[in-house]
Amino acid sequence: MPYKNIEVLKRDGLAVVTVNRPKALNALTVETMDELRSAFLDIRHDASVGGVILTGAGEKAFVAGADITELKDLDPPGAQDYARRGQHVLSLIESLPKPVVAAVNGFALGGGCELAMACHIRIAAEGARFGQPEVKLGVIPGYGGTQRLARLVGKGRAMQLCLTGDMIDAAEAHRIGLVNAVVPPEELMAAAEKMLGAIVAQGPRAVALCIEAINTGLELDLASGLKLEAGLFGLCAASEDWSEGTAAFLAKRKPDFKGK
C-alpha cells in the first residue's frame, strides 16, 4: 500500500522500511507512527518476508525525535494516550517474530533512539548520534526510552543519558552496548543486509522463538526464564525445521529450512 511518510521495499525475502521525512530529519508524527504500525503488521503476516531493515531517509538523521508541533498543546490525558500509542507501535516491532535490524544513518534522538532500541539489532554509521534529550524540553521519554535504555546499557548509564539529555557518538554507543556494530556510512546498508542475511539463513521458527525467549525472559527471574526456555526448546522439537536441521548436520550438508 502507498504511504506518505515511510517507504517499504520488499526484495529477496527482506523488507527495507525507511522513515521518509528528510526535510524534517525524519521526525515522528502520529501519522508516521500509524504508518509504521501498518507496515509492520503487514510484514508480520507476509510469509515472503524473513526480516527487516529499518532506517531513515537522507544522510543526516535516522529519526531525530518526535514532531514537537504535535506535543506542545497536549493535556495530561492526551499526552498519556500519545505515549501509549507510540509504545504500542514499538512493542509491535520488538515482538516481531522476524529479525529487525536498525541501520542508524544519523541522528537517533528521543523517539528515534527509542525506535532504534525497539529493533533486535542496531548497526550505526560512524557519524550517528544517540540520545534521549527530552528533559531539555521539560518532558521525559515516552516511547519506552526509560525502560529499554536501562535494559540495554544498565541503570547508571541510562540515568546519565536521560537526566542530562546529552548526546553520545556511535563509538560510545557501541562501547556501552547500545549498538552492535559501527561501520563507515557508505557500508551501513550492506552491513545491515549482511547481518540480516546471516540471521534469516537460520531456522525461522528457531529465530522467532529466540526472540520470544529473550524478550519475555528479561522480565522474569532466572528460574522462570529457564522454565520458559525449556518450554520453547520443546516446541522446537515438534517442528520440521528441528528434524531438517539435525539431519543436515549429521549428513554434513546445508539445511533447507521451511519455517515449519
Which of the residues are catalytic?
114, 134
DSSP labels, 193-228: HHHHHHHHTS-HHHHHHHHHHHHHHTTS-HHHHHHH
Q: Which three cell numbers stand for residue 92?
A: 509491535
What's at 154, amino acid-wise? G
What's at 46, amino acid-wise? D
For 195, half-sphere exposure in the C-beta direction (CA atoms, 13 angstrom radius) is 23
Q: Please give the Cα distance from 146 to 131 (Å, whole number).
A: 12
What backbone torsions phi and psi does residue 168 show, to the nearest 5 degrees?
A: -125, 155
Nearest residue to 79 via CA among 166, 153, 2, 143: 143
Torsion of CA 213, 219, 221, 226, to 10 degrees: -10
**7 secondary structure, DSSP code:** E
Give counts: helices (H), strands (E), the chain. Answer: 10, 10
